[in-house]
């Protein structure tokens, strides 16, 4: 049977209007959709090409999230949306723009980092690598054979890996070019630095008597992130020498000399703190003058020590 064209088909064929008119109208509609798409692309950016499913606002969890945002209100301070602009951030006397973000100014700025002392930053965040181990074929990750293999693998990983080279063709040792560096508390120059320890699955198995003595020697040389708190460490499970039996901090006159000397060495030989500094926080300049290498001030110790004694 003969099929009768629809009105739309007759229009496209130029039967109801002139062929030029139908052609121009058809292309006009096409350009209209193209312009709408371009406007959406400019406003949404690359999100318009995302295939990820948008959050369902009717979901109770999603509704709770938006309710939390509404109850919290607008965030104020160096981390709010307005301070994302570098000029706005730097114009605020309490903020500074650092590593791609607006942050609160440090009351006691730390000295400039030595070579590779700070983390490698990527897009404003510390870069890190995680290695996941799996024992296949019914094996146990704690089997001696597998632990030995992990030890061998990590030993190779943290070297020149059998031939890593610089752009000029010379060898590129791990300890000279890549490892994160650690420096003693009172390091004068960068020659005193060494490769920092790596968090490894094997670390708990290295704390035998030999490993404990090695750690103790390193802490005594100042290689510790605990700063003056490391002076209170002991191999004995007993009450800390700074604490009384009722959980209070002893007067400084009763502190053992070895702990006093250790703490002062962590302060770099600077004038030591007084008993009053443990009972009331000092001003900013006083706290900054008595900071240790890890940024721990006497105000910090004032808060930490009583809780440390109570915990024991």
DSSP secondary structure letters along 78-116:
TTSSGGGSHHHHHHSTTEEEETTEEEEPPSSPPPPP-TT
Band (187; pLDDT cuts 50, 70, 90): low
DSSP assignment, residue 238?
S
Question: What is residue 287's three-state secondary structure?
Answer: helix
Query: Which pTM was predicted?
Result: 0.49
Q: For the residues 86-102, what does the mean pLDDT come to?
A: 86
Could you read off the pLDDT of 113-157 as tens digits, one per residue?
A: 788 888 887 777 788 888 889 888 888 999 998 999 998 888 877
Q: What distance in Å separates the CA atoms of residue 100 and residue 125, rounded to the nearest whole number? A: 9
Question: What is residue 145's three-state secondary structure?
Answer: helix
CA 103 to chain centre: 14
Strand 95-98 relative to strand 121-122, pairing:
unpaired
Q: What distance in Å separates the CA atoms of residue 202 and residue 199, rounded to the nearest whole number? A: 8
Query: In the structure encoding, which two tokens stand for residue 122, read together?
Result: 């990527």
Handedness of CA 28, 30, 34, 39 (dihedral sign): positive
Could you read off the pLDDT of 48-84 as tens digits, one per residue?
A: 666 665 656 677 887 888 888 788 777 778 888 888 8
Cβ pair 193, 115 in contact under 8 A = yes
Which ranges constitute the DSSP H helices of the chain?
7-12, 19-44, 60-72, 86-91, 144-157, 174-177, 209-220, 257-266, 284-289, 298-311
């Amino acid at each position: 049977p003969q099929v009768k064209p629809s009105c739309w088909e007759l229009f496209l064929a130029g039967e109801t209007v002139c062929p030029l008119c139908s052609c121009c109208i058809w292309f006009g509609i096409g350009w209209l959709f193209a312009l709408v798409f371009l406007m959406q692309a400019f406003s949404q950016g690359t999100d318009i090409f995302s295939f990820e499913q948008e959050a369902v606002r009717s979901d109770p969890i999603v509704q709770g999230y938006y309710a939390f945002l509404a109850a919290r209100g607008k965030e104020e301070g160096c981390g709010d949306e307005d301070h994302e602009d570098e000029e706005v951030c730097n114009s605020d006397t309490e903020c500074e723009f650092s590593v791609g973000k607006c942050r609160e100014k440090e009351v006691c700025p730390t000295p400039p980092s030595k070579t590779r002392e700070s983390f490698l930053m990527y897009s404003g965040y510390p870069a890190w690598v995680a290695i996941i181990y799996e024992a296949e074929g019914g094996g146990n990750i704690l089997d001696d054979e597998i632990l030995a293999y992990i030890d061998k693998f990590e030993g190779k990983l943290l070297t020149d890996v059998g031939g890593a080279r610089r752009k000029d063709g010379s060898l590129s040792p791990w300890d000279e070019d890549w490892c994160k560096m650690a420096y003693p508390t009172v390091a004068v120059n960068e020659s005193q630095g060494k490769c920092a320890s790596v968090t490894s699955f094997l670390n708990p198995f290295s704390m035998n008597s030999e490993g404990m003595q090695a750690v103790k020697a390193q802490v005594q040389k100042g290689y510790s992130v605990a700063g003056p708190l490391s002076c209170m460490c002991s191999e004995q499970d007993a009450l800390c020498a700074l604490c009384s039996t009722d959980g209070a901090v002893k007067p400084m006159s009763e502190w053992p000399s070895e702990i006093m000397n250790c703490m002062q060495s962590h302060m770099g030989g600077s004038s030591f703190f007084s008993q009053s500094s443990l009972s009331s926080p000092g001003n900013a300049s006083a706290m900054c003058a008595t900071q240790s290498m890890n940024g721990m001030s006497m105000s910090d110790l004032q808060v930490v020590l009583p809780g440390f004694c109570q915990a024991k």
